[in-house]
Amino acid sequence: VEMGSSVEQNILVTGGAGFIGTHTVVQLLKEGFKVSIIDNLDNSVIEAVDRVRELVGPDLSNKLEFNLGDLRNKGDIEKLFSKQRFDAVIHFAGLKAVGESVGNPRRYFDNNLVGTINLYEAMAKYHCKMMVFSSSATVYGQPEKIPCVEDFELKAMNPYGRTKLFLEEIARDIHAAEPEWRIVLLRYFNPVGAHESGRIGEDPKGIPNNLMPYIQQVAVGRLPELNVYGHDYPTEDGSAVRDYIHVMDLADGHIAALRKLFADPKIGCTAYNLGTGRGTSVLEMVAAFEKASGKKIPIKLCPRRAGDATAVYASTERAEKELGWKAKYGVDEMCRDQWNWANNNPWGYQKKL
């Protein structure tokens, strides 16, 4: 038996019923971890967790526990930590709609900041001091240079972004005060796609804010056309450029981060970009989706969306070198799997009559 592999490691996954959470939980179970989810189902449904169980099968499903709970409620967290020992926490739970955060900043600060501070308190009390945190490329603001490198100056553009920036700073302060903490801050670029089975995927409530869920709903006939925000950017085709990353690559990035936490006592508090390092424009993304789906996506060229950057993509060097992780999938696979999910579940997890 190899060192460290003899005992099954137990991972707490906050927000594990959500888009990135469900895909990561599937991979965690397949890699032999025990998983406990806490989620308040604010932006997700229990059917997503049922689908995770179905995907991994009954044996691995026995290693998964779901707890309905809210991180803003200290009692919910205490209940979890008092009955089992966690080796590490992957912290996805949070609100993420940029536009909503502008109109309702208190909700974002309460949920994202208070929830996370409560989580740290419980982790400290129960001596679980390893965390993988969901940060975001949003902390680069309007980057002055691309690709974005982890040591760039950070800047938030809206209340949502501010919660991520503050939570990164809080993590760095906690580590500075108590160096035994090991915290990995993962800065996701633009997560898209779905599990290749087409059984789990992103299912936003209401009209989607993000590009791929919007395209997907046009493809299945739920929305008439895609508004393309900006066609006069100084880019090749005039539309804005982003670094889209397949959610299964992202899920594997979390496994790599966990292994790094367990293996490297000197990790401290370190940020890593999770992106492909490649930029794709909105119009290129539409073309790739049309090719993957065989569906025409009608578009309307519209003015730029307030607060949007021209071009953002990741430097992937640090994650490659230190985590040994690199994205495997390109835009064609992202669109293929996004379409497979859409085509099999045009109404997401709902059973539309």
Residue among 219 and 312 whose Cβ is closer to ligand NAD: 312
| Amino acid residing at 206 | G
Dihedral sign of CA atoms 140, 142, 147, 153 in order? negative
Distance CA 39, CA 33 (A): 19
Element (H, E) at 280: strand 280-281
86 part of the interface to ligand WQD, by CB under 6 A: no
Which does residue 94 touch among ligand WQD, ligand NAD, none (CB within 5 to 8 A, set by kind)? ligand NAD
Residue among 186 and 295 whose Cβ is closer to ligand NAD: 186
Stretch that binds ligand WQD, among 66-74, 123-131, 223-231, 262-270 (CB under 6 A): 223-231
Residue among 295 and 325 whose Cβ is closer to ligand NAD: 325
Q: CA geometry: angle at 122 spanning 117 and 128, to 5°?
A: 110
Which does residue 240 touch among ligand WQD, ligand NAD, none (CB within 5 to 8 A, set by kind)? ligand WQD
Beta carbon of residue 266, minimum distance to ligand NAD (angstroms, whole number): 26
Element (H, E) at 305: none
- Contact positions with ligand WQD (CB under 6 A) in 151-190: 190
Q: CA geometry: angle at 79 spanning 59 and 110, to 5°?
A: 110
19 part of the interface to ligand WQD, by CB under 6 A: no
Which does residue 314 touch among ligand WQD, ligand NAD, none (CB within 5 to 8 A, set by kind)? none
Size of the chain, expressed as the number of residues it contains:
353
Residue among 164 and 175 whose Cβ is closer to ligand NAD: 164
Instruction: Using CB under 6 A, count the residues that bind ligand WQD.
Output: 19
Q: Which residues bind ligand NAD (CB under 6 A)?
A: 15, 17-21, 38-44, 70-72, 92-96, 111, 115, 134, 136, 188, 191
Residue among 119 and 295 whose Cβ is closer to ligand NAD: 119
Please tell me which residue in 108, 120, 140, 160 is annotated as part of the active site. Answer: 160
Beta carbon of residue 334, minimum distance to ligand NAD (angstroms, whole number): 13
> Is the peptide bond prior to 147 cis by the omega test (within 30 degrees of 0)?
yes
What is the largest distance, in Å, between two alpha-carbon atoms of the chain?
A: 60
Residue among 208 and 295 whose Cβ is closer to ligand NAD: 208
Using the rule CB under 6 A, which residue among 211, 251, 258, 331 binds ligand WQD?
A: 211
To the query of whether residue 160 is one of the catalytic residues in this protein, the response is yes
64 part of the interface to ligand WQD, by CB under 6 A: no
Would you state the structure tokens that stand for residue 57, as one six-digit string?
A: 């099968």
What DSSP assignment string belongs to 167-236? HHHHHHHHHHHSTT-EEEEEEE-EEE---TTSSS----SSS--SHHHHHHHHHTTSSS-EEEE-S-SSSS
Give pairs for 52-58: CB < 8 Å, separation 24+.
Answer: 52/22, 52/25, 52/26, 52/200, 54/199, 55/26, 55/195, 55/197, 55/199, 55/200, 56/26, 56/29, 56/30
Using the rule CB under 6 A, which residue among 242, 254, 278, 295 binds ligand WQD?
A: 242
Catalytic residues: 160
**Where on the chain is the footprint of ligand WQD (CB under 6 A)?**
96, 98, 136, 138, 190, 209-211, 214, 226-230, 240, 242, 282, 305, 308
